[in-house]
Amino acid sequence: MTTILQLNNSVFGDNGQSSQLADEFVAKRLEAEPNVRVIRRDLAAEPVDHLNGERFKAALTSPEERSPAQAREAALADTLIEELQAADEVVIAAPTYNFNVASTLKAWFDHVARAGTTFRYTENGPQGLLTGKTAYVFVTSGGQYAGTDLDFQKPYIQHFLGFLGIGNVHFVRAEGLAMGEQTSQAALTEAGEAMQKLAA
């Protein structure tokens, strides 16, 4: 059975364009493969706490050596990592806020990047431990940044996922959504067509 981990991040909830693209993609995957298991997290509606010193230290402490307080601090990160480890596919709805990812997604990244669990350092540099997975990232933005020096989001997401060992990453972009009705509709139509091809 294929397991999909879906991460939505729009402050507009299910009405966000990135959420709609991700939701439609997952719906198409379910049509094609009914036995797919979906783990869905709306990180905007239920945000992950940002890292602090106590959480970071707890996460780095082996489970058998954690104090009760550390076990409580590490519990959420443990769950998030287990969900990611179980997933065959990761679907990320990634609206662009102030040129980069939503802080909710960044917080999730910070929790699932755990040395010795999702990656490790070797004498040849870091090695991702989450190989064999595929990621689909739906990027939406009010402006148009692809191919420019202001495109911070795609390189960051691609590098982070690759750091964890997820090298097979597909991006679908809908840009210029605040640049008038014609530009917006054209971008959404193009993104929808790209999404359909990936889902098939």
pLDDT tens digits for range 41-58: 999 999 999 999 999 999
Residues 146 and 193: their CA atoms lie apart, in Å, by 18
Q: Are the C-beta atoms of residues 154 and 146 closer than 8 Å to each other? A: yes
Q: Which of 15, 12, 88, 7 is nearest to 40 (CA)?
A: 7
Taking only the tens place, the pLDDT of each residue in 134-159 is 999 999 999 999 999 999 999 999 99
pLDDT of the residue at 37: 97
Is residue 125 part of an annotated ligand binding site?
no
pLDDT of the residue at 200: 83
169 pLDDT band (50/70/90 cuts)? very high
pLDDT of the residue at 34: 82
Residue 176 CA neighbour count, 13 Å, CB half:
15
Is residue 148 part of an annotated ligand binding site?
no
Residues 8 and 49: their CA atoms lie apart, in Å, by 16
Residues 158 and 199: their CA atoms lie apart, in Å, by 20
Residue 177 has pLDDT above 90, yes or no: yes
pLDDT of the residue at 151: 96
Number of domains in the chain: 1
pLDDT of the residue at 60: 87
Residue 27 has pLDDT above 90, yes or no: yes
Q: Which of 49, 12, 27 is nearest to 199 (CA)?
A: 27
Is residue 18 part of an annotated ligand binding site?
no
Read off φ and ψ for residue 58, nearest 5 degrees: -65, -40
Q: Which CATH number is 83's domain given?
A: 3.40.50.360
Residue 113 has pLDDT above 90, yes or no: yes
Is residue 16 part of an annotated ligand binding site?
no
Taking only the tens place, the pLDDT of each residue in 57-111 is 998 899 999 999 999 999 999 999 999 999 999 999 999 999 999 999 999 999 9
- Which tokens belong to 84? 């990611």
3-class SS at 52?
coil
Residues 173 and 63: their CA atoms lie apart, in Å, by 40
Q: Which domain holds residue 72?
A: 3-199
pTM comes to: 0.95
